[in-house]
Structure 1
C-alpha cells in the first residue's frame, strides 16, 4: 500500500512538471508571434539584434520619381540610388573585316543586292570595322537570319551584343525582423516589377524622402 501511495505521488509530480513546462512553451510561442508592423514593439533582448535596424535595397524603377513615390508610401526612412545594371545581351549578326575600306566595299555590294539597307559599319569597340546586319532578342530568329545572310557572305557570324541600362533602386530602413512584411507592402503598392532584393548599408538612410 505504501509503495502504491508513493507511486501516485511521483506520477502527480511528473504530470505537474509536464503541465508547467508545456504552459511555459505555449506562452513563449504566443508572445513570439509576428505582430502587425503598425503595432510592432521590439522586445528587450540581451543580444541587441531586435534593437537594430536593417536596410533593404530593391529595384529597378524606371524613373527616380517612381522610386521616390514608393518610398514615401512606405512611410519609412529611405533614399533613392541610381545604378547601371546589365540586361540580357542581344544576338548580333556581323561580317568581320580588318579594315574600314574592305568593309565599305562589301557593304556597297550587299546593299546593291537588296535587303541590307539598314546595315552599317561598326565604328569602335571589339567589332570595329565589322558590318552589322541586325540585332535580335531571339536566338532562334538570329540563327534563321544568319543562315540567310551566309548565302550572300559566308563569313557572317553571330556574336553577343552586351547592353545595360540606368535604373533606380529604393533603399529603406526598417526594424530588424520586419523586412519581409515591409517588402511585401512596397511591392503591393507599386506597379514596378521587382527584379531583385538584397541587403544594403544604411549609410545615408537617416531621414524620410532622400534622393540622389
Structure 2
C-alpha cells in the first residue's frame, strides 16, 4: 500500500509540473479598447478593388440645374414681292384690260410705253424717180390693175412700192413676177420700229414653292413677253383700272 500511495503521489506531481505544456494555447481575446472593422468598410474596400479591376466608363456631363438648352426654331417662309412684266400690247387701254382679265393681281400696276425695233420687212419697190416720171408710172400701174403705192416722203420719196413681206421667199416670188411684167423692180429691206405697251405689276409669290415657275408657265401661253424677278428699288406707281 505504501508503494501504491507513493506512485500516485509521483504521478500527480508530474501532471502538475508538466500539465501546462500539454494544454493547447489559448486564443487571444480582443480587448474592449480595440475597434472591430465595420461591414460598410469591408464593402467599400471590396467595391474599390472591383473598380480598380474594371475599366472606367465615360460619364456624360449633365446640364447644370436650372439651365435651359437653346432650341433652334426654323422661321416659316414668307411671300416675297416680285415684279411681273408682260407684253406686248398695241395700246395702253389694251394693257389695262389685260390687267383686269388677270383678276387684278398684285398691289400696284403700271402701263409702260416702249419703242421696239422689229425685224425688217422685205420690200419690193421700183427705185425713186423724178416727180413727173414717178407720177406717170404710178398712174400706168393703177390703170393696169397692179397693186402699188407711191412713196411721198423720206429717203425713198418717189419710189413705187409693190409690196412688203415678212417672208423673203414670198418677196422674191413677187419680184420675179414684176420683172416678167417688164417692171424695173428691186428687193430692199424696210426697217421698222413699233410703239408697244407693256404691263408691269407687283405680286407676292412664295419663294422655293414653284409659284414663280407656275406663273411664268401660265403667262407664256398668252403673252410674247414674260419677265418675273424680285422687285428692287421703288415700287411701281399704282393706277386705277
**Alpha carbons 1:70, 1:186 under 8 Å: kept:** no
Q: Which has the bigger relative contact order, CA under 8 A and spacing at least 6?
A: 1
Alignment match, 1:60: 88
1:150 to 179, 183, 186: 179
RMSD: 3.8
Aligned residue in 2 for 1:3: none
Structure 1: gaps (5+ residues): 1-8, 10-30, 33-38, 43-51
Note the 1:94-173 alignment, pairs <5 A: 94-112=125-143, 114-116=144-146, 118-153=147-182, 155-173=184-202
Structure showing greater Rg: 2
Question: TM-score if structure 2 supplies the norm length?
Answer: 0.53
The verdict on how the C-alpha distance between 1:211 and 1:101 changes in structure 2, with shifts beyond 3 A counting, is farther
Task: Verify the 8 A CA contact 1:120 1:133 in the aligned structure 2.
Answer: yes
Which has the larger helix fraction? 1
Q: Of 51, 65, 69, which residue of structure 1 is paired with 2:100?
A: 69
| Contact 1:91–1:142 (Cα < 8 Å) also in 2 | yes
CA contact (8 A) 2:85 2:225 kept: no
Residues of 2 paired with 1:99 and 1:196: CA distance?
48
Name the structure 2 match of 1:16: none
Length, aligned pairs only: 165
Look up the match of 1:12.
none
Q: CA deviation at 1:77?
A: 2.8
Instruction: Determine the structure 2 residue equivalent to 1:4.
Output: none
> Structure 2 unaligned runs (5+)?
1-57, 59-73
Q: 1:91·1:160 contact (CA, 8 Å) conserved in 2?
A: yes
Deviating more after overlay: 125-134 vs 182-191: 182-191
CA deviation string 1:150-181 (max 9, x = no partner): 23345311122233444321222356984983
Query: Are 2:84 and 2:200, in contact at CA under 8 Å, matched by a contact in 1?
Result: yes
Cα deviation code 1:60-84 (max 9, x no counterpart):
1341223422665323432222333
Output the TM-score relative to the length of structure 1. Answer: 0.59
